[in-house]
Amino acid sequence: MKFRVDRDVLADAVAWAARSLPVRPSVPVLSGLLIEASDDGLVLSSFDYETSARATVSAEVSDEGKALVSGRLLSDICRSLPAKPVEMVLEGARVSLTCGSARFSLQTMPVEDYPSLPEMPAATGTVSSDVFAHAVAQAVTAAGRDDMLPVLTGVRIEISGSTMSMLATDRFRLSHRELEWQPNSPDESAAALVPARVLGDTARSLTAGSEVMIALAAGGTGEGLIGFEGSAPGGTRRTTTRLLDGEFPKVRSLFPHEHQTTATVDKVALIESLKRVALVAERNTAVQLAFSDGTLTLDAGSGDEAQASESIEATIEGDDITTGFNPQYLLDGLQVIDEAVVDLAFTVATKPVVISGSMGDSDDTGAASDTGFRYLLMPRRLLS
């Protein structure tokens, strides 16, 4: 194996493929990055039996071949190289890397022990990479992080024709994002429960190109897998991950059909006030929100402890209401809403609030804002 490649192209591809390498691999070869050189170019791959990553880049290949080397070490080396072409050569059981006057020699691992990467399922459709990345960032906000409840660590993706929905919940909050995409079939219908961490990392990493191709197996070969592919400088990026097993809870019914109170508030003002007041909130205690007479008053702390209070303007329709929420969970939801003004919709104080961008908000062009994201948050008991 012998090839020559642009330093920046190689460093970017190696970093992308190595990002999903396991920290504590079950077998040593899973810490490796597979390098394959052929007339078609260079392919860099990683796989941990759950998630695979495959980066294809253009390279001047003199001799075809493959080698398996430490992925994290190669990533560190490539990131530190000078801005000159890189040449890699397989010499017996070692790979030599030369870039300018810098030279490295890396021990290889047995290629024959490396598992075969799963095949990409058939393409289901495409979506704008920027829209997809932003939608995923909003959806994963409410995903659980408790591995004892693996179903809640995923994002449920539902496809119905040209509409894609994403749902996530950790039992205390719920996110729902809808977006338009381009299915290969107009009557496409599918659902998948994708690990939130993998989905978030993948969506962020595929924004270099204009579109992301999504491949979801409906049955047969590749069932239980979802794949994503996008373009990148010098080549393409492709990743697959196993879907989570289990039944995602039927959470859509948690969104109420009508509300008794709706408050419209400037988002930045609410975020800044909430951050200040929450400074005195003891761990696992709520920040109180009281809506009355065109004012939202935030309070935290009680008794002999430190206390804080602040009021901001609010447009309130319906009954006065006083409730409380985990301040960090409330901040998490507010910070991923695009609109400058938010609506907080309530039924009663003991029921969840639904937070979304204000329907009356608009962007600089005067067009109505995208309100495809909703964030539902359970209230917390207020200290007396």
pLDDT at site 336: 97
Instruction: Report the CATH fold assignment for 255-377.
Output: DNA Polymerase III; Chain A, domain 2 (3.10.150)
Q: Residue 135: left if φ>0, alpha if ψ -120 to 50, beta else—which one?
A: alpha
97 touches 90 (CB < 8 A): no
> Can you tell me the distance from the alpha carbon of 353 to that of 351, in angstroms, rounded to the nearest whole number?
7
DSSP 250-264: --GGGS-S--SEEEE
In this structure, the number of other CB atoms found within 10 A of the CB of residue 112 comes to 7
Where are the chain's structural domains? Answer: 2-113, 125-242, 255-377
In this structure, the number of other CB atoms found within 10 A of the CB of residue 282 comes to 12
Across 127-145, average pLDDT: 97
> Can you tell me the distance from the alpha carbon of 344 to that of 156, in angstroms, rounded to the nearest whole number?
24
- pLDDT digits over 192-210, tens only? 999 999 999 999 999 999 9
Lowest model confidence (mean pLDDT) among 37-41, 223-227, 315-319, 344-348 = 223-227
CA-closest candidate to residue 239, choices 227, 224, 225, 230: 227
pLDDT at site 366: 34
| Residue entry with tokens 């909703």 | 374
Helix, strand, coil percentages, rounded to 5, for the chain = 20, 40, 35
373 touches 337 (CB < 8 A): yes
pTM: 0.90
CA-closest candidate to residue 99, choices 83, 76, 120: 83
Phi (first) and psi of residue 40, to 5 degrees: -80, -10
> Can you tell me the distance from the alpha carbon of 125 to that of 213, in angstroms, rounded to the nearest whole number?
6
pLDDT at site 368: 34
DSSP 30-46: GGEEEEEEETTEEEEEE
Lowest model confidence (mean pLDDT) among 114-118, 247-251, 281-285, 350-354 = 281-285
CATH superfamily of domain region 125-242? DNA Polymerase III, subunit A, domain 2 (3.10.150.10)
> Can you tell me the distance from the alpha carbon of 282 to that of 305, in angstroms, rounded to the nearest whole number?
9
pLDDT at site 359: 73
In this structure, the number of other CB atoms found within 10 A of the CB of residue 303 comes to 7
Average pLDDT, the chain: 92
Length in residues, the chain? 384
pLDDT at site 221: 43
Taking the CA of residue 92 as centre, how many other CA atoms within 13 Å lie in the half-sphere pointing to its CB?
3
Phi (first) and psi of residue 287, to 5 degrees: -100, 130
- Residue range 2-113 forms a domain whose CATH class is alpha beta
Across 105-132, average pLDDT: 95
Residue 55 has pLDDT above 50, yes or no: yes
> Can you tell me the distance from the alpha carbon of 99 to that of 68, in angstroms, rounded to the nearest whole number?
20
State percent of the chain over pLDDT 70.
95
pLDDT at site 360: 67
- pLDDT digits over 303-348, tens only? 778 899 999 999 999 999 999 999 999 999 999 999 999 999 999 9
| Residue entry with tokens 């104080």 | 349
Q: What is the CA radius of gyration of the chain?
A: 25
pLDDT at site 223: 62
pLDDT band for position 364 (cuts 50, 70, 90):
very low
- Looking at the DSSP bridge assignments, the partners of residue 4 are 60, 87
Domains 2-113 and 255-377 agree in fold: yes
pLDDT at site 43: 97
340 touches 301 (CB < 8 A): no
State percent of the chain over pLDDT 90.
85
227 touches 215 (CB < 8 A): yes
pLDDT band for position 272 (cuts 50, 70, 90):
very high
